[in-house]
Amino acid sequence: MLAEIRIESLGAISVAVAEFGRGLTVLTGETGTGKTMVVTGLHLLGGARADANRVRSGAERAVVEGRFTTTDLEESVAARVDDILSSSGAERDEDGSVIALRSVSRDGPSRAYLGGRSVPAKSLSSFTTELLTLHGQNDQLRLMRPEEQRAALDRSATIESRLERYRKLRDAWLSARRDLADRHSRARELAQEADRLKFALQEIDAVDPAPSEDDALVADINRLSELDALREAASAARAALAGGTDDDVDALEAISAADSLGRARTALEAADDSVLRGLADQLGEALTVVGDAARELSDYLNELPADASALDTKLARQAELRTLTRKYAADIDGVLAWARESRDRLAHLDISEEALDGLHRRVEELAAQLVEAAADVSKTRSQAAKRLAKAVTAELSGLAMADAEFTISVTPMPASDGDPAALTLPSGTLVHAGGDGVDQVEFGFAAHRGTTVLPLSKSASGGELSRVMLALEVVLAASTAGSTMVFDEVDAGVGGRAAVQIGRRLARLARTHQVIVVTHLPQVAAYADVHLMVDSSGRGGASGVRRLDGDDRVAELARMLAGLGESDSGRAHARELLEAAQCDRIATS
């Protein structure tokens, strides 16, 4: 939940600190004092676009800092939050809370910080999205969009695994369709490319190069070019270490290193002295090294060609390899890699009748599987739509709209002409297979019994739309707990008995969620667990936030009722409203 927010130089607010607890918190205040700046600050923490015009006049930057606790989150949400913090290098504070910060410069870019680390605004958004659900006044308008309505319906349905299967099949189906269409439309071009690849692969196969063969050839050619010198050097070294062969008279007469070391070791071993015997052991080790080197030199000499006649063969092979490296890659390893890639490419360039028939069958098989997956998604949505519509209608009845009717229709989305993702259903209907299924979701609404149900965008007034959104959130929130929900004037256009019902519903929602509401209705504010007021009593007319209790809260409710904060009658009315709301909360808890 959101434990605290600190705002500096944002709009009308100079410096303000607000602490939030569990349950329902309301923010009130006169128009223009900056109530919505708290919500604006939360939107900034949510990664919203930074507007330099929001920086308070005379300040260089605006800063919003939020402290979040994550102890009450569901296990899956907590795991995602931990992953986000870990990938960002963010660290928790000593008390386990996480500090998120966003600064907006008047002249430069905005900056985001999470757990003491500088992060992209998108990373900050990923973190706060898991903890905050923000409903500003524009969110009511977004509710009219088809994609927002579909997303709201999906929140109430167990649909994630079904959608994931559908999307995987859709990706495979679209890829196979594109491949098939590409082979048909570019048949001549692909045939020419296939011929070029076949010729190149035949040329490479004829040479049959081995990995790193070009490097090995260079070493062999260098060795053959210096054959006599190499043989003389190796022979002299072997003779010096271990003596020569029977045919090498001079070497036989010479004293080898092995002989000298052997005599020296024998002499030292005969001495009755521990130091000399230790040196004898060291000479023994040296003899082993000399013997090993002599044997390796013998092997080297045995492997040298008897003459340089093999040089011509090596040079000819090098010329063959250079023919390939001039055409296909810088070295033989690169040529072999090019050949592997070309064989893979050639496999996809098969435009024979058999290959096209096989790919066509593949497309049809994937289409059939996709139709089945889409039907599964549609069925799940239709079942969820009935449940959600019934629950929202019942919730609207509790919001002083007893005659209202809320409906959700789930219908196939028709494909347009030339639609690259057109899918044929078993009924023969051509639908658009979008990334979220083949359905179009539409919310319907009728405010009064007997009137025609029309699309929500055409039938709901501002106040009605506010209550529909609140009813949706109350119903959808029933399956989750632990997150923070923020409403900015969700009660706009509402008054009287409906306002009382909204306050009651928000209080009920606050049993399982932290709820923060910016409101102008005293009927809503009276239900709050915590009442914060934004006022402009600071220096230079700057706004701040303070908590109201006792008489101060009664005075603010009186002001909200009729601007009579200082009158006895206004206070009496406010006190009566507050007591009634608190009694109602106890009775319904």
Model confidence over 13-29: pLDDT tens digits?
888 888 888 889 999 88
State the average pLDDT over residues 549-554: 90
Asked if 5 and 134 sit in the same domain, the reply is yes
Asked if 329 and 364 sit in the same domain, the reply is no
Asked if 133 and 152 sit in the same domain, the reply is no
Range of the domain at 99: 1-144+482-543
CB neighbour burial string for 201-215, b if at least 16 within 10 angstroms, e if fewer: eeebeeeebeeebbe
State the average pLDDT over residues 87-99: 89
CB 102 within 8 A of CB 110: yes
Residue that terminates a domain, selected from 347, 379, 400: 347
Asked if 17 and 136 sit in the same domain, the reply is yes
Amino acid at 458: K
CB 161 within 8 A of CB 434: no
Has residue 139 got a pLDDT over 70?
Answer: no
Please tell me the predicted confidence (pLDDT) of residue 350. Answer: 66
State the average pLDDT over residues 381-388: 95
pLDDT tens digits, residue range 210-255?
999 888 888 777 777 666 676 777 777 777 777 765 445 444 445 6
For tokens 């297979």, the residue is 433
Please tell me the predicted confidence (pLDDT) of residue 311. Answer: 76
How many structural domains compose the chain? 4
Nearest CA-CA partner of 40 in 152, 113, 105, 137: 137
Inside any domain, residue 476: no
Question: Sign of the CA dihedral 408, 411, 417, 422?
Answer: positive
State the average pLDDT over residues 36-63: 84
423 vs 538, higher pLDDT: 423
Q: Name the CA radius of gyration of the chain, rounded.
A: 41
Inside any domain, residue 468: no
Asked if 274 and 250 sit in the same domain, the reply is yes
Please tell me the predicted confidence (pLDDT) of residue 363. Answer: 93
pLDDT tens digits, residue range 259-298?
777 777 887 777 777 788 788 888 888 888 888 888 888 8
Nearest CA-CA partner of 53 in 14, 9, 16: 9
Asked if 358 and 336 sit in the same domain, the reply is no
Please tell me the predicted confidence (pLDDT) of residue 339. Answer: 93
Please give the Cα distance from 531 to 20 (Å, whole number).
Answer: 10
Asked if 446 and 539 sit in the same domain, the reply is no
Please tell me the predicted confidence (pLDDT) of residue 249. Answer: 44
pLDDT averaged over the chain? 84
State the average pLDDT over residues 137-146: 72
Residue 97, helix vs strand vs coil: coil
State the average pLDDT over residues 410-421: 92
Query: In the β-sheet with 530-535, what is the strand arrangement from edge to edge?
Result: 132-135, 484-488, 514-518, 24-28, 530-535, 544-548
Asked if 8 and 101 sit in the same domain, the reply is yes
281 vs 532, higher pLDDT: 532
Has residue 415 got a pLDDT over 80?
Answer: yes
Asked if 118 and 37 sit in the same domain, the reply is yes
Please tell me the predicted confidence (pLDDT) of residue 340. Answer: 93
Residue that terminates a domain, selected from 330, 347, 364: 347
Please tell me the predicted confidence (pLDDT) of residue 31. Answer: 75
State the average pLDDT over residues 386-403: 88
Provide the terminal-to-terminal Cα distance of the chain, rounded to the nearest Å.
Answer: 22
Inside any domain, residue 184: no
Please tell me the predicted confidence (pLDDT) of residue 251. Answer: 45
Tally the residues of the chain: 589
409 vs 21, higher pLDDT: 409
Q: What percentage of the chain carries pLDDT values higher than 70?
A: 90
CB 148 within 8 A of CB 473: no
Please tell me the predicted confidence (pLDDT) of residue 252. Answer: 43
Asked if 140 and 151 sit in the same domain, the reply is no
Compute CA 464 distance to the chain's CA centroid, rounded to the nearest angstrom: 36
Asked if 166 and 228 sit in the same domain, the reply is no
Inside any domain, residue 329: yes
Inside any domain, residue 534: yes
Residue that terminates a domain, selected from 288, 316, 347: 347
Please tell me the predicted confidence (pLDDT) of residue 253. Answer: 45
Please tell me the predicted confidence (pLDDT) of residue 508. Answer: 86
Please give the Cα distance from 418 to 116 (Å, whole number).
Answer: 51
Asked if 115 and 134 sit in the same domain, the reply is yes
Please tell me the predicted confidence (pLDDT) of residue 430. Answer: 94
67 vs 29, higher pLDDT: 67
Whole-structure pTM over 0.75, yes or no?
no
Please tell me the predicted confidence (pLDDT) of residue 432. Answer: 95
Please give the Cα distance from 425 to 367 (Å, whole number).
Answer: 9
pLDDT tens digits, residue range 108-129?
778 999 998 999 888 888 888 8
Please tell me the predicted confidence (pLDDT) of residue 184. Answer: 74
Q: What percentage of the chain carries pLDDT values higher than 90?
A: 26
